[in-house]
Amino acid sequence: MKRILKKILFSILNTPEKVNNTIFSGFSRGIQNVAFEGKNAVPDGCNFSGIIKVGYATTFGYNNFIHGNVIVGKYCQIGVGVAIFTKDHPTSYMSTYINKNLFDGELKQFRKESKVIIGHDVWIGHNVIIVGNVNIGNGAILAAGSVVTKNVEPYAIVGGVPAKELKKRYPESIIKEIEALQWWDKSEQELEKLKPLFFKDFTNKTSIYD
């Protein structure tokens, strides 16, 4: 009986709910801290705190932790277990401890606060951690398990701990064309006209129009 009740409860809690054109599944905390542009998806176990803006059609993975001043662009895909931190403990003082158990938390005033800006069409892999004052360019790919502590160039693939650039997705000529096109700002009707471009393989190409 207990197992059946658990299944029923799990089914109820994980029933997708659409609110203001954003789909929520399961239970996530801090949704009130996020400004969603619409057509977003938030699965179970996410935690949001701070001031967060999320672009159109960007989707999250299970157990994402987004903390601080964060801006995420449009059409981004964020994998399972991704964490973004823009606040850091003080390192040049007597202690890094900022909990209220020490001096009623007064040391929290020395915490460093920065900002993370993520561009459009960024793919963030499983268990990626982003920390500090970081800008991630449009079209970038952050490989699973990476720890990103520095800016990432547009259309770069980065990986490792700390993350380093492995290669660019395309030659510079194609990158310039996509940046000029700015497809993520197009309406659905305009995207439909551009649809053939999305089905092209740009391997060994120098233009998206070839």
**Which residues does the annotation mark as catalytic?**
89
CA angle 81–87–92, rounded 5-degree value: 130
Dist CA 147 CA 132 (whole Å): 11
Q: Do 158 and 137 form a contact (C-beta atoms < 8 A)?
A: no
Q: Do 80 and 70 form a contact (C-beta atoms < 8 A)?
A: no
Question: What three-state secondary structure class fits 55?
Answer: coil
Record the tokens describing residue 12, joined without a space.
């109820």
The residue with tokens 């129009």 is: 209
How many other CB atoms are there within 10 angstroms of residue 109's CB atom? 8
What single-letter DSSP state applies at residue 75? T
Which H/E stretch holds residue 192? Answer: helix 188-198
Q: Which of 89, 138, 124, 94 has its CA nearest to residue 109?
A: 89
Radius of gyration of the chain (CA): 20
